[in-house]
Amino acid sequence: MPISRRGSDPAAGFTLIEMLVTLVIMALLAGLASLSVGGSAQRGARDEMNRIRELLSFASEEALMEGDEFGLIMEEGAYRVLRFDPLAESWTELTDKPMDPHEIPPGMRLDLKLDAGSRTAASSRPADAENPVPEILLSSSGEITPFRLEIRVAESPDAVAGIESDGSGTLRDL
């Protein structure tokens, strides 16, 4: 009595559907690998600009709700948020999250352009430790100093990401 085994023919091979599914899986894996390998510096710069945008938005909302004046100061390799103390008539640094001081990753540079001119955050700006004055002001009326902020990475002269404000309180991506 012959026993028949279905599909046991060694010359049968793979079906067309099996081949297509395998090709689709390989293409997806290749795409994911290429995304995770390339552009890490540019992606890091865009992430840093998103953090700055969210920080400015949060500080602007806090200024509106609390009736206080806030500001952002740029320093070499870092930026921080300040609050104006009307009693002491000076700016004080905020150290609570999410407005604590933040260092930018190595190899990145912030370029800030104000109406009064432009400067690189890494430039030699005299720092007054006792009375720091922020470049970007966030007022309790909702206004923001008009500015254009770009982030650059060491291996590229072009800006990777940026934001700007015309002074009305809105932030726009560049």
Query: 58: exposed, middle or buried (C-beta count within 10 Å: 0-12, 13-18, 19+)?
Result: middle
Q: Which pair of tokens denotes residue 13?
A: 């091979």
Q: How confident is the model at residue 30 (pLDDT cuts 50, 70, 90)?
A: confident
- The helix (run of H) or strand (run of E) holding residue 32 is helix 16-37
Contact at 8 Å (CB) between 134 and 73? Answer: yes
pLDDT at 113: 92
| Across 19-33, 37-51, 128-142, least confident range | 37-51
Q: How confident is the model at residue 19 (pLDDT cuts 50, 70, 90)?
A: confident
Contact at 8 Å (CB) between 90 and 131? Answer: yes
pLDDT at 105: 86
- Domains of the chain from N-terminus onward: 40-173 (3.55.40.10)
pLDDT at 5: 55
Q: How confident is the model at residue 57 (pLDDT cuts 50, 70, 90)?
A: very high
Question: pTM to 2 decimals?
Answer: 0.70
Q: Specify the 3-state DSSP secondary structure of 150.
A: strand
123-159 pLDDT tens trace:
434 555 567 889 999 999 989 999 999 988 877 767 6
| DSSP states of 107-149 | TEEEEEEETTEEEETTS-PPP-SSS---SEEE-TTS-B--EEE
Block residue for tokens 């990777």: 160
- How far apart are the C-alpha atoms of 53 and 100, rounded to whole Å? 15
Number of Cβ within a 10 Å radius of residue 35? 10
65-120 pLDDT tens trace:
999 999 999 888 899 999 999 998 899 998 888 888 999 888 888 889 987 655 55
Number of Cβ within a 10 Å radius of residue 107? 12
Contact at 8 Å (CB) between 125 and 62? Answer: no
**Residues forming a β-bridge with 110:** 151
